[in-house]
Amino acid sequence: MQVYAELRILTARPSVKDEAAAPHMLYGVLPASEACSAARWLELAAEAIKEVWAQGKLPIVVGGTGLYLKALKEGLSPIPDVLPEVRVEATRLYAAQGAAALQERDPAMAKRLKDGDSQRHTRALEVWLATGKSLAYWQRKPREVMFPDAEFSKEIVMQERGELYRRCDARFLIMLEQGALEEVKALKELNLSTDLPAMRAVGVPELLAYLNGEMTLEEATAKAQQATRNYAKRQLTWFRNQA
């Protein structure tokens, strides 16, 4: 989410002072109107890493999105690109039929996914619509490793869960003080599709609900804090299993 130019505060991007202290790359480089996938990020990251190597320096890849970091080390399955109109149709099908839309077309993937996981259901649907094959078929293909000869040193900073959750709650309040609500107001004025990744960034749906008069600011804040804690919990689980 930190690639999106419009979301400096809510994605906790490095401050201007931090960016001046050391070279930073790939922060705020894409508009929120663009859907950045793991494959797209991998392309951008590969270019940045090569640029750093060309300077005789060591690139440090920082983040909390485990799938993206795993893709950098181990590659991605060679899934064909999906046209925007196919993605729209997949979204429409899921909105109309829910989990049944995937069950009808790709029962193998439907069995692997939770009913309420709209993002993964839609992804599986769009791949099936675009290729006529299950996402499971493509995932079984050999991965295309970007840097097969590179050596990686992995460092994971873990925090005691109670303290981590306390910091998550406090951080969102700080974001509000720094202008998170104004940031979402500006995003709202762009009239973007709610299916875009940037519109699903933690804090965006909750503050949009407040701006749309669907909940109070206190309710939106509580829900955003909960969403932040949920995300942190998923991160902990991912890295413990990947370590």
DSSP 89: H
The model's confidence at residue 102, banded by pLDDT at 50, 70 and 90, is: very high
pTM: 0.82
Give tens-digit pLDDT for 187-221: 999 999 887 889 999 999 999 999 999 999 999 99
Is 118 or 200 the better-scoring residue by pLDDT?
200
Looking at the predicted structure, is the pLDDT value of residue 243 above 70? no
Burial 176-189, CB ≥16 within 10 A → b, else e? beeebbebbeebee
Q: Please name the CATH architecture into which domain 84-139 falls.
A: Orthogonal Bundle (1.10)
Give tens-digit pLDDT for 44-78: 999 999 999 999 999 999 987 888 998 999 998 88
| H or E stretch at 206 | helix 204-211
Provide the Cα torsion 169, 174, 178, 181; round to 10°: 30
Tell me if residue 76 falls in helix, strand or coil. Answer: strand
- Please say whether the dihedral angle defined by the alpha carbons of residues 14, 20, 25 and 31, taken in this order, is positive or negative: positive
CB atoms closer than 10 angstroms to residue 85:
10
Domain boundaries, the chain: 16-74, 84-139, 161-242
Distance between CA 128 and CA 139 in Å, rounded?
Answer: 12
What CATH number matches the domain at 161-242, 3.40.140.10, 3.40.605.10, 2.40.50.140, 1.10.287.890? Answer: 1.10.287.890
Provide the Cα torsion 125, 131, 132, 134; round to 10°: -60
Centroid of chain to Cα 115: 20
